[in-house]
Amino acid sequence: MITANLDGKRVFVTGGTSGIGLACVRTFASMGAVVVANHLPDDTQATSVISALSRDGYAVSGIAGSVAEPEEVLKCVEHAIHRLDGLDYLINNAGTPGTTEPIPPEDLDKMTEEFWHLILSTNLLGCFRTAKAAASALRSSGGAIVNIASIAGLGTQGSSIAYAASKAGVVNLTRSLARALAPNVRVNAVAPGQTATPWTEGWSDQRKQIAIDKSVLKKRSQPEDIAEAVLFLCAGASMMTGQTIVVDGGMTL
């Protein structure tokens, strides 16, 4: 794991109480940053997760709100910036597959208007909403944004047509925001492969093994692997913007 001195850095992580988001919260807080972790209002585990991090000595607090709801996003970002007295890094991690099982591309009947709305409003518009709300604070600090995309947005199948399209949108949005917020704010993305998160842990051993077999490193990504790439793009990579880094153990080689 790479390390950095993040004393005094102020971080807002959406979807920050499980999986990749939680790994990002823990990684940044362990290096001295003050972190606000966003979570869904109905996340029953969020309070205990935040409390555990605080007991471990990390400067972490939580804030509830859905990135799929414009008014909630604005309130969350404003409250986080007020609580942190500014913002250095925004990590747009919140997202949803919208399904517990992958939906084959040919099953178009499951791609309903409601399903598309959920996926796009959360995965794509959610990233834009938080970035827009945080733009002024990030310009003031000369900060950075990292969006969590997916290899599904780079041509692999993903959990559904809608999910893959939303993540392709995140990749494109990253480039557009990099132009829009330059030169003060850098905007990059990380595209994970199959990662050991709460969503994938319920999958069969056979399905998990497929990802391992496809990986030239012969292992699945862990949330900490993704967090390490996020850390690099925030605390280093001073000449990188508009880029998407693939972290998949070589699944897409």
Residues with a catalytic annotation lie at 163
Outline where the chain has alpha helix (H): 19-30, 46-55, 70-84, 113-119, 125-141, 161-181, 198-201, 205-214, 223-235
* Contact in structure between 33 and 12 (CB atoms under 8 Å): no
Radius of gyration of the chain (CA): 17
Q: Give strand pairing partners of 92.
A: 147
Torsion angle in degrees (nearest 10) through CA of 178, 139, 131, 238: 40
Q: Crossing angle, helix 223-235 and helix 19-30, to 10 degrees?
A: 50
Exposed, middle or buried, 8 (CB in 10 Å: 0-12/13-18/19+)? Answer: exposed
* Contact in structure between 159 and 100 (CB atoms under 8 Å): no
What's the distance, CA 62 to chain centroid?
16
Q: Which residue has the tokens 């499980």?
A: 18
